[in-house]
Amino acid sequence: MAYTTPPALSLRTRTPPRRLAIATLLAALAGELQAFELGDPFATGALTPPPPALIIDGAALPCQPLAADVPYGLLEVVDLALCRNPTTREVWSATRLQAAQVGLAQADFLPALDGRVAGSRVRVDSRSANQSNAALTLSWLLFDFGARSANLEVARQLMSAAVSTLDATVQNVFLEALRAYYNAQAARAAVTAARESERASRESLSAAEVRYQVGTGTPADRLQAQTAWSQATLTRIRAEGVQRNTLGRLANVMGLDANQPLPLDDIPAASPEASFEGDVAALIAEARERRPDLQAAEAELRAAQSGVDYARAAGLPTLSLSAGPKWEDLGGASANSNSIGLVVNLPFFSGFSTTYSVRAAEARTEVQAARRDNVRQQVALDVWEAYQNLTTATQTIRTTADLLASAEQSERVALGRYKAGVGNILDVLNAQSALANARLQRIQAVLEWYVSRAALARAIGTLDSRLLSLSAGQKARKP
Inter-CA distances, 109 with 105, 149, 159, 309, 438, Å: 8, 9, 19, 17, 70
pLDDT at 205: 82
> Does 35 map to a domain?
no
d(CA 176, CA 374): 23
pLDDT at 6: 35
> Does 209 map to a domain?
yes
Element (H, E) at 139: strand 127-143
Is residue 128 classed as helix, strand or coil in its secondary structure?
Answer: strand
Overall domain count for the chain = 1
Q: Find the distance separating the first CA and the last CA of the chain, reported in whole Å.
A: 77
Domain carrying residue 228: 77-111+150-317+365-467
CATH number of the domain at 194, please: 1.20.1600.10
Cα four-point dihedral sign 191, 193, 198, 203: positive
| pLDDT tens readout for residues 337-386 | 888 999 899 988 888 898 999 999 999 999 999 999 999 999 999 999 99
> Does 393 map to a domain?
yes
pLDDT at 303: 96
Q: What are residue 10's phi and psi, to 5 degrees?
A: -95, 170
pLDDT band at 88, cuts 50/70/90? Answer: very high
> Does 447 map to a domain?
yes
> Does 418 map to a domain?
yes
Length of the chain: 479
Q: Is the pLDDT of residue 275 over 70?
A: no
> Does 339 map to a domain?
no
pLDDT band at 38, cuts 50/70/90? Answer: low
pLDDT at 308: 95
For the chain, give the mean pLDDT.
84
pLDDT band at 5, cuts 50/70/90? Answer: very low
Q: Is 79 exposed, middle or buried (0-12, 13-18, 19+ CB in 10 A)?
A: buried
258 C-beta neighbours (distance < 10 Å), count: 13
| pLDDT tens readout for residues 436-471 | 888 888 888 888 888 898 999 999 998 888 877 543
> Does 23 map to a domain?
no
pLDDT at 1: 37
| pLDDT tens readout for residues 141-187 | 999 999 999 999 999 999 999 999 999 999 999 999 999 999 998 89
Q: Is the pLDDT of residue 311 over 50?
A: yes
236 C-beta neighbours (distance < 10 Å), count: 21
CA atoms within 13 Å, Cβ hemisphere of 436: 23
d(CA 241, CA 246): 9
Partner residues linked to 123 by β-bridges: 128
Q: Where are the beta strands (DSSP E) in 144-271?
A: none
pLDDT at 238: 94
d(CA 466, CA 268): 17
> Does 58 map to a domain?
no
Q: Are 145 and 317 in contact (CB under 8 A)?
A: yes
Q: Is the pLDDT of residue 215 over 80?
A: no
d(CA 146, CA 312): 9
Range of lowest pLDDT (82-91, 151-160, 206-215, 252-261):
206-215
pLDDT at 324: 87
Using CA atoms in the order 384, 388, 390, 395, what is the torsion angle rounded to 10 degrees? 170
**How large is the average pLDDT for residues 115-133?**
80
Range of lowest pLDDT (9-23, 65-79, 320-334, 449-463):
9-23
| pLDDT tens readout for residues 46-75 | 898 999 988 887 777 888 888 888 899 888
Element (H, E) at 335: strand 333-345
Q: Which residues, other chains included, contact 318 with Cβ-Cβ below 8 Å and sequence gap of 6+?
A: 141, 143, 144, 145, 147, 344, 345
- Listed in sequence order, the DSSP H helices in 70-146 are 74-84, 86-107
What percentage of residues in the chain have a pLDDT greater than 90? 41
d(CA 361, CA 307): 6
